[in-house]
Amino acid sequence: MDKQKWKSVTINIDDYHAARGVSYLKNRKLAGTLTKLINDYISNVADDNKIDFNKFKKDMIKKSKNGQYVRGN
């Protein structure tokens, strides 16, 4: 597996099962459901801040790759 392309994360077991349940409901793979949830969230935050979705997502990726953690409110 290409470690540059995939990352593992740990989430609460109930959150895992909730996301998996949504996947079953929508006839989607879990990875697709998580991607959609993340992109929907990024879209909402970008809209709230009146920033273009693609620009905001690229900025968040850049912050993560550079290790720039900023604690939210």
* Phi, psi angles (nearest 5°) of residue 23: -60, -45
The whole-angstrom separation of Cα 70 and Cα 1 is 30
Domain extent listing, the chain: 13-65
Q: H or E element: which one contains 19? A: helix 13-25
Can you give the pLDDT at residue 1?
63
Can you give the pLDDT at residue 32?
93
> Which residue ranges in the chain fall short of pLDDT 70?
1, 70-73
Can you give the pLDDT at residue 4?
78
Report the predicted TM-score, pTM, of the whole model to 2 decimal places: 0.77
Q: With contact defined as beta carbons under 8 Å apart, do 23 and 33 qualify?
A: yes
